[in-house]
């Protein structure tokens, strides 16, 4: 009885899958300050042109450059595990599979797009990249990727996470990158936040403002900005996860997957595992695709579908997405990677088109599920990934009640070995559940007034 399937190196997918080519409606374009679709040239100070082209591409399949494959082959194809120990602990007739993205150099799926983005920046003649990071997973991934391509790297890390997870900075430094807590006094955006609230713990929206400003204000013109989630090209790079999983399930003789589950922060690991299955769903397969978010940052389940900025200062174009408002400040829950006010436009669109079902969970249930997973499968999951695990456990229990088989696939987006503070707080009984109040939700949405609204169809 094998518990793990590993594809041979030569079976690694050679192309990424672009869902934009298959969605029932064309994606809505990002809008500039004048309310009109942004011209690609207007983004050229922020991103290299090769990535801007990918961002806007309608091609269904996009070739993965050899240089990117070569680096990914250090840790890919990643294993697909059958969670037999978890299944028997639950006594469920469901077969539970998970894709293990924790085996990457920094312990999460984020390396998949970091390597691709570093490659395209290097190819475009960029010397230095800036970025933001929440829990530190993205910062360490882009730091690793920059080390591979000889790029300089500077990361603005959300201050509460910087304090909770000091080893992430050490990781970034180890890969040769610089990491500063955000809000910092180095940018106009950071200084403005600090002037208004000197004790600000920061947010992803603030850190993005700082990193974008630092890129576009470099007088040499050879600095660009990178983003770890949300944008179409980032989601594209992650589809290698689901494409591998499909091959692996087929190798195991699984013909039909009933449910595909992933946590959502900005939406990239979800897109990575789910989009190749959403293609099947568009083509007629019945698959329940579930995006799981924290109840304290319920973007898909309680946020409206609007045009909003990706960052707090409003430097980014307006994206058509579910949002809690770009000034929204989520509670300091331990799943730092899920504390983002917005959502990838492509993921939002799959919800609007009825292809994805969104649910929200409380952190205590997620940590309980993480402990069960650790004690059965032997992997300590990232607090973010524990949201997917908790939902998979709910579904497996339901299968038991119904006495019916089903095949559940979830994405283990990363391990939690850098997040042991969260585990310690949980086991000491220090964590509590957070439900976003209706007042806080309404307050967060006030910043959307006056922004354009996506046309309903
Ligand atoms: C960043 C991160 C997430 C959330 O980001 P997405 O873009 O929604 O995937 C989830 N899990 C892990 C381990 C992360 O590092």
* Ligand 1 atom at shortest distance from the alpha carbon of 271: 9
CA of residue 171 relative to chain centroid, distance: 20
pLDDT in tens, 70-123: 999 999 999 999 999 999 999 999 999 999 999 999 999 999 999 999 999 999
Residue 59 lies in a domain: yes
Report, in angstroms and rounded to the nearest whole number, the Rg of the chain calculated over CA atoms: 20
Residue located via tokens 């293990």: 100
Residue 457 has pLDDT above 60, yes or no: no
For residues 167 and 263, membership in a common domain is answered with no
Question: Among the three residues 172, 207, 225, which one is the final residue of a domain in this structure?
Answer: 225
Q: Provide the percentage of residues in the chain whose pLDDT is more than 70.
A: 99
Q: Which of 393, 389, 433, 430 is nearest to 413 (CA)?
A: 389
Q: Which ligand 1 atom is the nearest neighbour of the CA of 415?
A: 13
Do 137 and 382 meet the contact criterion of CB atoms below 8 Å apart?
yes
Same domain? 414 vs 364: yes
Protein residue with its CA nearest to atom 15 in ligand 1: 137
| pLDDT (mean) for 6-32 | 96
| Structural domain span for residue 164 | 16-63+110-225
For residues 440 and 376, membership in a common domain is answered with yes
**C-alpha 384 – ligand 1 centre gap (Å):** 6
Q: Using 50, 70 and 90 to split pLDDT, how confident is the model at 133?
A: very high
Whether residue 96 sits in one domain with residue 144: no
Rounded-to-integer distance, Cα 318 and Cα 344, Å: 12
- How far is ligand 1, taken at its centre, from the CA of residue 454, in Å? 26
How many Å lie between the centroid of ligand 1 and the Cα of residue 360?
Answer: 15
Domain termination residue (choose one: 176, 194, 225): 225
Which whole number is the average pLDDT over 290-306? 97
Which protein residue's CA is at the shortest distance from atom 13 of ligand 1?
414
| Euclidean distance between CA atoms 381 and 353, whole angstroms | 31
Which residue's CA is the nearest one to ligand 1's atom 5?
265
Same-domain check for residues 190 and 138: yes
Q: Do residues 188 and 335 both lie within one domain?
A: no
Atom of ligand 1 nearest to the CA of 238: 9
Whether 131 and 213 share a structural domain? yes
Confidence of residue 337 (pLDDT cuts 50, 70, 90): confident
Ligand 1 pocket check: which of 78, 105, 106, 110 to mutate, most ligand atoms within 8 Å of Cβ?
Answer: 110
Residues 90, 59 within the same domain: no
Mean pLDDT of 317-346: 89
- Please check whether residue 119 lies inside any domain of the structure: yes
Task: Give domain status of residue 456, yes or no.
Answer: no
280 and 292, same domain (yes or no): yes
Angle between helices 268-282 and 345-352 (to 10 degrees): 40
Distance, CA 109 to ligand 1 centroid (Å)? 7
381 and 427 within one domain = yes
Q: Say if residue 283's pLDDT is above 60.
A: yes
pLDDT at 315 over 90: no
Ligand 1 atom 14 nearest Cα:
337
| 195 CA → ligand 1 middle, Å | 31
Distance 152 CA to ligand 1 centre (A): 23
Which atom of ligand 1 is least distant from the CA of 228? 7
Q: Whose CA is nearest to atom 2 of ligand 1?
A: 337
Ligand 1 atom with least separation from CA of 229: 7
Measured in angstroms, how far is the CA atom of residue 457 from the centroid of ligand 1? 31
124 occurs within a structural domain: yes
**421 Cα–ligand 1 center, Å:** 18
* pLDDT at position 203 over 90: no
* Domain assignment present for 397: yes
Specify if 196 maps to a domain: yes
Output the ligand 1 site: residues, CB below 6 A.
108, 110, 137-138, 229, 263-270, 337-338, 382, 384-385, 413-414
Longest CA–CA span in the chain (Å) reads 65
User: Quick one: average pLDDT of 347-358?
Assistant: 98
Q: Is the dihedral of CA 303, 308, 313, 315 positive or negative?
A: positive
Does one domain contain both 34 and 100?
A: no
Atom of ligand 1 nearest to the CA of 101: 13
Out of 225, 250, 275, a domain closes at 225
Number of domains in the chain: 2
Lowest-confidence region among 235-244, 371-380, 432-441: 432-441
What is the sign, positive or negative, of the torsion defined by CA atoms of 323, 41, 238, 228? negative
9 lies in some domain: no
Q: Angle CA(379)–CA(385)–CA(387) in degrees, nearest 5?
A: 120
Residue 457: inside a domain, yes or no? no
Instruction: Kindly state whether residues 294 and 416 are assigned to the same domain.
Output: yes
Average pLDDT, the chain: 95
Q: Give the domain CATH number at 299.
A: 3.40.50.1100
Closest CA to 149 of 68, 225, 77: 68
> How remote is the CA of residue 17 from the centroid of ligand 1, in Å?
19
């Amino acid at each position: 009885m094998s518990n793990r399937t590993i594809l041979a190196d030569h079976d690694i997918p050679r192309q990424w899958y672009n869902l934009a080519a298959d969605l029932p409606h064309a994606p809505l374009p990002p809008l500039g300050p004048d309310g009109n679709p942004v011209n690609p040239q207007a983004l050229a100070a922020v991103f290299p042109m090769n990535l801007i082209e990918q961002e806007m591409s309608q091609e269904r399949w996009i070739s993965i450059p050899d240089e990117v494959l070569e680096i990914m082959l250090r840790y890919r194809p990643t294993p697909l595990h059958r969670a037999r120990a978890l299944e028997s602990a639950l006594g469920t007739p469901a077969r539970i599979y998970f894709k293990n993205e924790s085996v990457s150099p920094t312990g999460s799926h984020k390396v998949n797009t970091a390597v691709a983005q570093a490659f395209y920046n290097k190819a475009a003649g960029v010397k230095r990249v800036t970025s933001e990071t929440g829990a530190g997973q993205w910062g360490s991934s882009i730091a690793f990727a920059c080390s591979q391509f000889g790029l300089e790297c500077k990361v603005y890390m959300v201050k509460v996470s910087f304090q909770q997870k000091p080893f992430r900075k050490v990781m970034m430094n180890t890969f040769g990158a610089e990491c500063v807590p955000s809000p910092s006094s180095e940018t106009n955006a950071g200084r403005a936040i600090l002037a208004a609230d000197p004790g600000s713990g920061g947010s992803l929206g603030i850190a993005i403002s700082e990193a974008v400003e630092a890129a576009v204000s470099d007088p040499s013109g050879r600095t660009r900005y990178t983003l770890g989630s949300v944008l179409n090209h980032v989601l594209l790079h992650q589809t290698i996860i689901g494409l591998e999983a499909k091959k692996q399930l087929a190798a195991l003789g699984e013909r039909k997957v009933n449910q595909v589950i992933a946590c959502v922060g900005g939406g990239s690991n979800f897109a990575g595992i789910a989009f190749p299955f959403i293609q099947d769903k568009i083509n007629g397969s019945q698959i329940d695709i579930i995006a799981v978010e924290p109840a304290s940052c319920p973007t898909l389940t309680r946020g409206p579908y609007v045009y909003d900025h990706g960052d707090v200062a409003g430097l980014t174009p307006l994206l058509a997405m579910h949002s809690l408002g770009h000034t929204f400040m989520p509670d300091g829950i331990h799943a730092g990677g899920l504390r983002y006010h917005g959502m990838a436009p492509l993921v939002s669109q799959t919800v609007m088109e009825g292809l994805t079902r969104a649910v929200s969970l409380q952190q205590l249930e997620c940590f309980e599920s993480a402990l069960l997973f650790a004690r059965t499968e032997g992997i300590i999951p990232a607090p973010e990934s524990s949201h997917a695990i908790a939902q998979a456990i709910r579904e497996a229990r339901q299968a038991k009640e119904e006495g019916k088989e089903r095949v559940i696939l979830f994405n283990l987006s990363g391990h939690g070995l850098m997040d042991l503070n969260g585990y310690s707080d949980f086991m000491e009984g220090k964590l509590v559940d957070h439900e976003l109040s209706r007042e806080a939700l309404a307050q967060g949405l006030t910043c959307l007034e006056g922004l354009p609204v996506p046309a309903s169809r």
